[in-house]
Amino acid sequence: MTKPNIPKGTRDFGPLEMARRNYIFSTIRNVFARYGFQQIETPSMELMSTLMGKYGEEGDKLLFRIQNSGEKANEAPEKGLRYDLTVPFARYIVQHRDELQFPFRRFQIQPVWRADRPQKGRYREFYQCDVDVIGTDSLVSELELIQIVEDVYQALGIRVCLHLNNRKILAGIAEVIGAPDKIIDITTAIDKLDKIGLENVNKELSERGLADDSIAKLQPILALQGSNEEKLDAIAEVLAGNETGTKGVEEMTQIIDLMKCQLSTINYQLDLTLARGLNYYTGTIFEVKALDVQIGSITGGGRYDNLTGIFGLPNVSGVGISFGADRIYDVLTELNLYPASMMNATQVLFATFGDAELRYALKWAKQLRKENIRVEVYPEPAKMKKQMSYADSKAIPLVAIVGGNEMESDTVMLKNMTTGEQSQVTIEQLINKIKKV
Amino acid sequence: MTKPNIPKGTRDFGPLEMARRNYIFSTIRNVFARYGFQQIETPSMELMSTLMGKYGEEGDKLLFRIQNSGEKANEAPEKGLRYDLTVPFARYIVQHRDELQFPFRRFQIQPVWRADRPQKGRYREFYQCDVDVIGTDSLVSELELIQIVEDVYQALGIRVCLHLNNRKILAGIAEVIGAPDKIIDITTAIDKLDKIGLENVNKELSERGLADDSIAKLQPILALQGSNEEKLDAIAEVLAGNETGTKGVEEMTQIIDLMKCQLSTINYQLDLTLARGLNYYTGTIFEVKALDVQIGSITGGGRYDNLTGIFGLPNVSGVGISFGADRIYDVLTELNLYPASMMNATQVLFATFGDAELRYALKWAKQLRKENIRVEVYPEPAKMKKQMSYADSKAIPLVAIVGGNEMESDTVMLKNMTTGEQSQVTIEQLINKIKKV
């Protein structure tokens, strides 16, 4: 019989991977709680009417559809798997608006599914971890999300740079160069500046129907240099007299001012090339990159003024970011930043020479567990070598060996698996030893 | 526009429901850790070849199939949604057997999907929470699962009764009454004793082809009364000379003996009507019922000797149980047993009269968060009434009000939302106050 397998693009997570993932999620969750965010979950399946048309034509093709066995094969399935957490969140807000208190601060950590071609680092099932404030246009929400980014990456020990942009600045630029209807083409092209270079971006802009003089007017913007303040001043000058653009510059200035007032130490930069290819952002756009690993964006998001409009509730402004758990996982692995304690692993294994010893060990285990100590009892008096090698392969630091002598003297022979040291200890001594470690 | 909706049989979980669910799962997880169990996760999708034929004909019909948009509608989908955690676990063990250390102790908390007709308390998406030891036939594993049941329900404050049975006893009975090939019919019928009564069970047995004298021989077994010891003695007598049955009685005797030796205080009873309708159990069968709420089984499981055989790895014995999170949720709700602390809710809200005050509040918030206090700042200096009603509806216990006076004296006006009390406090006083609560 051949080994069974799993669908391509999906993954099993074993104990080590799960401990690492739980460490990432609990670190993030703890930060969210300090800012008063509350968790929600939405179903894995949404109605196709909820999903279709929300992710562009390309996105529609990447939806997984779900069939009941009752449904005929040629019937269009009525349900699909969640493609992201944003659209279900918008649906949730509209559906439950009468029960919610606005501004509504929620976070959500759940898997999403995309029928993408699987490749290294791209999966068909992966977790998203979104945090949003909805129902206020106060820039304090932007500030708080920036602080959350700062707190999370400080807690994880990852050095990052926060990239900031504003969709209104991009729109202003489009207007100023005389191509206001081309903002989506411009932002999509600018988004690729890092990947394909200036020349190809200009070529693409031309192919997208941008006039040569518009492209020429855009060049100073694409070539901006200097400190954040210098860049912002230069942009303000280009956009002087343009209402949308000036509003964007004002928002950016206010956010930077709030960060200063909060003595934020996060490393950040204005980045006009940042558009995130997403058309629903209307204000600030965020992206976070790890400084010590080449991996692209590990967190991103922005402000949207009309997310719930698609479900019939217009003019609700919100802002949110999404932490990329898989990439954060890779960064922590590459930089070897996981703390040993995250495994929450067994602290002591009892190994026994016979049935009476096994029962004796079970009694000790019960007492230790009452002290919240993580204990295993090898379930049979197997060969001592087998029991020791079990402890070894699970990296259990202490083995309590029980034979006739130990039972008689109400002790165990405690072996430190790192140093090889052995000593006979009472139960009180054992508890103290473990609690000290 | 009509309100958007979700597929029938699925649920949104809001902040209160999520806090309750997280409380249940973290309580269970903490107990699992004390016994050295490690978490794994498997993909939501499995290959249809992994799923089909594992849950009987009825089960096959309840599988949700997944279609890529690339797949033709009349092609048979190659993937389906996870129906339970047991079959994916068996697949996981066989696929990863070379990386695993046996006995392998794992737990798994993930949603499963069934295309059942939705009704009260039955959903198309629900969580399972499974814990298993695989790779040993030692009854110490049974004992540990019983201890886990005891610890979990003690921690949750739910009074329970553990029902115990053994598949070998059932098989022995089938042999003794002269219908060894009818064991599945007998157990399925016995399983319904509680629901449809003795008379209907006898009728069903007859319909299933059991001879009248076999049914007659079965009656004393169905009518067993008395203490656990008396019942076990009576069964031992009926099964005397029958090898399988006697082995079952021995296993049961040993487990009870181990429980006594461990001074287990769990309320338990031998229950021959317990078969759980599942055919893969080969030894002990468990079921846990809440004593103070009529809701059926809240935990169940048993020993299986050949779970991985379906994937080509025979003779691997394991034993496991599954906690029913949805029913546990309902029991805790009905008995009002959730601790207030589980909400992990915001401890203090800052309400402000103007922009300068808002910035002042943000500085305080930052310091409080450093002390691990959960803080919100109302993001705009809205009308005080609005800010207070936000605190009220989110049940935030303290509001720190900031006006000009407070800024001048480096204080806030702290309002206790329960008592209405107000007092002017410094930041040190505020931190101390919150930490005391």
Cα angle A381, A383, A389; round to 5: 105
* Separation in Å, CA of A120 to nearest CA in chain B: 17
pLDDT score of A73 more than 60: no
In this prediction, residues B325-346 reach a mean pLDDT of: 93
pLDDT averaged over chain A?
92
Cβ(A355)–Cβ(A326) below 8 Å: no
Q: Are the C-beta atoms of B205 and B218 separated by less than 8 Å?
A: yes
Q: How many CB pairs under 8 A join A and B?
A: 279
Contact B359/A at CB under 8 A: yes
Q: Which residue of B has its CA nearest to A29?
A: B344
- Residue B391: pLDDT band (50, 70, 90) is very high
Which ipTM was obtained for this model? 0.92
| Domains of chain A, each with CATH number or no CATH | 15-335 (3.30.930.10), 345-436 (3.40.50.800)
- State residue A55's pLDDT score: 87
Beta bridge partners of B270: B164
Q: Does A104 touch chain B (CB under 8 A)?
A: no
Residue A92: which H helix or E strand, with range?
Answer: helix A86-95
Query: With pLDDT > 90 as the criterion, what percentage of chain A qualifies?
Result: 75
pLDDT for B74 beyond 70: no
Chain B contact probe: residue of A344, A387, A431 with most B CBs at under 10 A: A344
Nearest to B136 among A14, A38, A379 (CB): A379
To the question of pTM greater than 0.95 for the whole model, the response is: no
E strand or H helix at A330, and its extent? helix A325-335
Query: In which band, very low, low, confident or very high, does the pLDDT at A50 lie, cut at 50, 70 and 90?
Result: very high
Three-state DSSP class for A223? Answer: coil
pLDDT digits (tens, 9 = 90+) for B190-243: 778 878 889 999 999 999 889 999 898 888 888 787 899 999 998 999 899 999
Instruction: For residue A7, say if its preceding peptide bond is cis, omega within 30 degrees of 0.
Output: no
In this structure, chain B runs to a length of: 437
What interhelical angle do A243-261 and A140-156 show, nearest 10? 50
Cα distance between residue A130 and residue A108, in whole Å: 5
pLDDT tens sequence across A286-333: 999 999 999 989 999 999 998 899 899 999 999 999 999 999 999 999
Any idea which residue has 């204990």 for tokens?
Answer: A375
Those residues with Cβ within 8 angstroms of residue B32's Cβ, 6 or more apart along the chain or in another chain: B39, B107, B131, B148
| List of long-range contacts for B388-391, beta carbons under 8 Å, 24+ apart | B388/B351, B390/A101, B390/A103, B390/B349, B391/B349, B391/B351, B391/B417
> What pLDDT is stored for residue B278 in this prediction?
60
State the sign of the Cα–Cα–Cα–Cα dihedral B293, B296, B302, B308. negative
CB contact under 8 A, A373 and B34: yes
Quote the minimal CA–CA distance from B412 to chain A in Å.
Answer: 18
Which residues of B are less than 8 Å from A372 in CB distance? Answer: 34
Which of A12, A33, A99 shows the shortest C-beta gap to B96? Answer: A12
Nearest Cα of chain A lies from the Cα of B18 at a distance, in angstroms, of 6
Helix (H, G, I), strand (E, B) or coil at B423: strand
Average pLDDT in chain B: 92
pLDDT at position A226? 86
What is the spatial distance between Cα A237 and Cα A214, in angstroms, rounded to a whole number? 17
In chain A, what residues touch B345 (CB-CB under 8 Å)? 36, 38
Closest CA to A221 of A169, A288, A185: A169
If pLDDT is split at 50, 70 and 90, which confidence band does B341 have?
A: confident
